């Protein structure tokens, strides 16, 4: 089984098929700090892996094995900084609880305003957003490639978009995006709709769309490593 190390997120940038009344928006980039070092360009095969690892749904190390947090690293302490209003905090807690319920174990320690936390979650104003105007969020992570372990994850939300917790048709659902970004923080990568159209790790989310439930495939992929 071939492993295609084609996770260069910039290679995927495009607008998804649109429903007549909604514009589908790419949720985010994965922004590996260390992971892509040594990897090939999109579509170039640079290593082989066992079949069981071929569709992990996870960020892959250069040996094509999934990169995840070690048991001793859990729970992942993530701080919601003060740029994120109280309105959205419970949605983020709920998103973390959704992953934890599926895993049957504590995965996150989500705290408020801890500047010293290794992992941070924040809103970024329009002028400071540096990841692409078509993105509603971004997760930037560091990995230890040799040990196939996650080291840290930073989650950013693009304040040039309107976020909501009540399903407003003209807004991005905060709980859905938080669930998706926390999936990245666990090491999960984007999943094509052709593989799992119900996955919360699909890269696009329309305004007013609520996607707060893990798919059966999400559960399986999560439970493979957590």
**Where does this chain bind Zn ion (CB under 5 A)?**
27-28
Q: Toward Zn ion, which CB reaches closer, 113 or 213?
A: 213
- The CB-of-140 to Zn ion minimum distance in angstroms stands at 11
For the record, the structure tokens of 223 come out as 């439970």
Q: Toward Zn ion, which CB reaches closer, 134 or 147?
A: 134
CA distance 177 to 158: 11
CA distance 76 to 152: 9
CA distance 222 to 185: 12
- The CB-of-132 to Zn ion minimum distance in angstroms stands at 12
- The CB-of-116 to Zn ion minimum distance in angstroms stands at 26
Contact 137, 156 (CB under 8 A): yes
Q: Toward Zn ion, which CB reaches closer, 24 or 46?
A: 24
- The CB-of-187 to Zn ion minimum distance in angstroms stands at 12
Q: Which residues contact 158 (CB under 8 A, 6 or more apart)?
A: 124, 126, 129, 131, 133, 135, 136, 137, 138
Q: Toward Zn ion, which CB reaches closer, 28 or 172?
A: 28
Tell me the residue nearest to Zn ion as measured from the CB: 28
Label the pairing between strands 24-26 and 76-80: unpaired
């Amino acid at each position: 089984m071939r492993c295609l190390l084609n996770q260069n997120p910039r290679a995927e940038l495009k607008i998804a098929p649109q429903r007549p009344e909604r514009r589908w928006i790419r949720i985010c980039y994965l922004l590996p700090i260390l992971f892509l070092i040594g990897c090939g360009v999109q579509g170039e095969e640079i290593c082989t892996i066992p079949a069981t690892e071929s569709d992990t749904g996870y960020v892959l190390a250069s040996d094509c094995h999934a990169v995840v947090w070690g048991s001793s690293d859990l729970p992942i302490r993530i701080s919601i900084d003060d740029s994120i209003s109280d309105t959205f905090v419970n949605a983020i807690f709920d998103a973390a609880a959704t992953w934890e319920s599926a895993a049957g174990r504590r995965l996150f320690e989500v705290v408020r305003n801890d500047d010293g936390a290794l992992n941070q979650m924040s809103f970024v104003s329009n002028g400071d957003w540096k990841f692409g105007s078509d993105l509603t969020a971004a997760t930037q992570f560091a990995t230890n490639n040799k040990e196939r372990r996650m080291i840290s994850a930073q989650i950013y939300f693009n304040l040039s978009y309107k976020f909501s917790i009540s399903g407003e048709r003209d807004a991005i659902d905060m709980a859905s995006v938080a669930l998706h970004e926390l999936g990245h923080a666990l090491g999960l990568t984007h999943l094509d709709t052709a593989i799992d159209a119900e996955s919360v790790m699909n890269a696009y989310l329309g305004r007013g769309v609520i996607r707060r439930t893990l798919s059966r495939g999400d559960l399986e992929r999560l439970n493979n490593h957590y």
